[in-house]
């Protein structure tokens, strides 16, 4: 084994440790689009899910089957029918759905049963348990269209699912539900996953989809200047959703977003849209700081927000002790009053206990994050990180490529969060002129 390997593997493994601790004992509901299975992604997905489960996460897996049902319909020479963005399930389509679900369950169970030596599944023991956990009701007749055997979730047997999870098994659900009269209804993977996540009050709802996530400008074509928005606060996600047309295709921006928003509004703090084409996307989202894909997050209590002139007193009070001990550069009241709208604050019960300012240098496509502070009483609870994420999002929204900080004592905090040190020469011209040589601050940059 080369020495280089030790130097890369050990820090890498340690950097993952906080996320392993964080997620142990949590419940994740993972919805996998049928397209992912059709694209041959199941073996790697099963390996990743088995690994995540072995690190103490309780997993409910919901599979989709859109392409598989359509394939069965085509084989029978029957046309797939849709209305209002939903499948109309006649008796032939119901047969096809049942056949497709049966086949997929076998495939999924088989994928979790592998354990050949020298493969990632070696030594894994994943019990997969499926069952009649979902009670359904018919969609019925909408605008004169009879949806026949298409249904909606009416009830989720949360006690049954929780017992199965506590028993150490992975719960596997097909998009099917049964009415109290025993009639089967064809549901959608997205609705089942969302309802189960809400009823369980899961810690995460994750969709593995055919889209890479939500772009910062969803109506613009993809490109380097229109990256994936890795974190969407619930309020912003709701606003975006309201501006979008009703989705009809899984590739429409609102398609998965509507379910993420619904879950977040109903108490599931984080919901994710990930691309299944990226190998290991689940691991990258869950165990890496910046993740991949889009996470819709309920920031609880609306405490994280942009500052107003009324917050100036609170900001001054918060940063003053750090100015006195030299951690922060002195700023006077007039300067903060003038720049109040550059600040993001965390407020609780009328008290500001965290802040940071963003000063853009649009000509250099970058911005300085300044005065990042969290009150000593509430440090180490992730607020510093929440402010950083919001600042990154504001900068991305301005079309900037990076943010930078000048720091004398907090380098490691920033480096751990994806910043890298650069020479002060790197600074935009306008900022370089104000650089205080005597303070010898280090310059750290994070690409967005």
User: Which positions touch ligand COA (CB under 6 A)?
Assistant: 322, 327-328, 372-374, 379-385, 405, 407, 409-410, 412-413
**To the nearest whole angstrom, how small is the minimum distance from the Cβ of residue 285 to ligand COA?**
19
Instruction: Outline where 55-188 has alpha helix (H).
Output: 66-75, 91-113, 158-166
Alpha-carbon distance 284 to 33, whole Å?
18
429-436 CB contacts, 8 Å cutoff, 24+ apart: 429/364, 430/361, 430/363, 431/361, 431/368, 435/406, 436/329
Question: Please, which residue, 146 or 332, has the CB nearer to ligand COA?
Answer: 332
**To the nearest whole angstrom, how small is the minimum distance from the Cβ of residue 324 to ligand COA?**
12
Residue showing the smallest CB distance to ligand COA in the complex: 384
**To the nearest whole angstrom, how small is the minimum distance from the Cβ of residue 322 to ligand COA?**
5
97-100 CB contacts, 8 Å cutoff, 24+ apart: 97/65, 97/69, 97/72, 97/175, 97/176, 97/186, 98/176, 98/184, 99/72, 100/34, 100/65, 100/68, 100/69, 100/71, 100/72
Q: Which of 395, 353, 444, 10 is nearest to 229 (CA)?
A: 395
**To the nearest whole angstrom, how small is the minimum distance from the Cβ of residue 197 to ligand COA?**
26
Alpha-carbon distance 340 to 355, whole Å?
11
Question: Please, which residue, 157 or 385, has the CB nearer to ligand COA?
Answer: 385
Question: Please, which residue, 24 or 239, has the CB nearer to ligand COA?
Answer: 24
Question: Please, which residue, 16 or 169, has the CB nearer to ligand COA?
Answer: 16
CB of 126 within 8 A of CB of 142? no
Question: Please, which residue, 213 or 384, has the CB nearer to ligand COA?
Answer: 384
**To the nearest whole angstrom, how small is the minimum distance from the Cβ of residue 323 to ligand COA?**
10
Question: Please, which residue, 255 or 404, has the CB nearer to ligand COA?
Answer: 404
**To the nearest whole angstrom, how small is the minimum distance from the Cβ of residue 351 to ligand COA?**
15
* Helix 189-200 / helix 253-265 crossing angle, nearest 10 deg: 20
Question: Please, which residue, 109 or 323, has the CB nearer to ligand COA?
Answer: 323
Question: Please, which residue, 380 or 438, has the CB nearer to ligand COA?
Answer: 380
Quick count: other Cβ atoms within 10 Å of Cβ 80? 15
**To the nearest whole angstrom, how small is the minimum distance from the Cβ of residue 15 to ligand COA?**
12
**To the nearest whole angstrom, how small is the minimum distance from the Cβ of residue 122 to ligand COA?**
33
* Helix 158-166 / helix 189-200 crossing angle, nearest 10 deg: 80
Provide the Cα torsion 181, 184, 188, 191; round to 10°: 20
């Amino acid at each position: 084994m080369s020495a280089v390997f030790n130097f890369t593997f050990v820090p890498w493994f340690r950097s993952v440790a906080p996320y392993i601790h964080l997620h142990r004992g949590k419940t994740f509901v993972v919805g996998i689009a049928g397209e992912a299975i059709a694209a041959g992604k199941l073996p790697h997905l099963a390996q990743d899910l088995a690994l995540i489960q072995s690190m103490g996460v309780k997993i409910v897996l919901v599979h989709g089957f859109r392409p598989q049902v359509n394939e069965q319909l085509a084989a029978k020479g029957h046309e797939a029918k849709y209305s209002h963005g939903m499948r109309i399930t006649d008796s032939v389509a119901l047969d096809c759905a049942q056949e497709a679900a049966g086949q997929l369950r076998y495939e999924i169970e088989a994928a979790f049963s592998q354990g050949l030596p020298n493969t990632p599944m070696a030594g894994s023991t994943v019990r997969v348990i499926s069952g009649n956990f979902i009670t359904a009701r018919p969609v019925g007749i909408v605008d004169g269209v009879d949806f026949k055997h298409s249904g909606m979730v009416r009830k989720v047997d949360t006690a049954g699912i929780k017992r199965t999870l506590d028993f150490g098994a992975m719960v596997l659900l097909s998009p099917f539900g049964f009415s109290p009269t025993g009639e089967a209804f064809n549901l959608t993977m997205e609705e089942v996953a969302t309802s189960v996540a809400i009823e369980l009050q899961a810690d995460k709802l994750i969709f593995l989809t055919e889209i890479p996530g939500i772009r910062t400008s969803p109506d613009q074509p993809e490109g380097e200047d229109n990256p994936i928005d890795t974190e969407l606060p619930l309020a912003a996600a709701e606003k975006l959703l309201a501006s979008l047309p009703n989705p009809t295709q899984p590739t429409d921006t609102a398609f998965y977003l509507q379910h993420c928003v619904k879950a977040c509004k109903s108490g599931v703090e984080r919901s994710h849209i990930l691309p299944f084409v990226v190998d290991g996307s689940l691991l990258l989202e869950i165990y890496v700081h910046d993740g991949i894909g889009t996470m819709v997050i309920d920031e609880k209590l609306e405490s994280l927000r942009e500052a107003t002139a009324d917050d100036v007193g609170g900001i001054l009070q918060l940063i003053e002790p750090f100015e006195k001990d030299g951690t922060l550069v002195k700023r006077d009241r007039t300067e903060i009053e003038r720049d109040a709208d550059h600040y993001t604050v965390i407020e609780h019960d009328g008290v500001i206990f965290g802040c940071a300012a963003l000063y853009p240098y649009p000509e250099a496509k970058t911005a300085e994050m300044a005065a990042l502070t969290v009150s000593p009483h509430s440090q180490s609870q992730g607020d510093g990180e929440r402010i950083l994420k919001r600042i990154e999002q504001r900068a991305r929204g301005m079309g900037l490529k990076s943010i930078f900080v000048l720091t004398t004592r907090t380098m490691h905090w920033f480096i751990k969060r994806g910043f890298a040190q650069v020479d002060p020469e790197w600074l935009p011209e306008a900022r370089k002129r104000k650089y205080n040589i005597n303070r010898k601050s280090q310059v750290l940059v994070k690409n967005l």
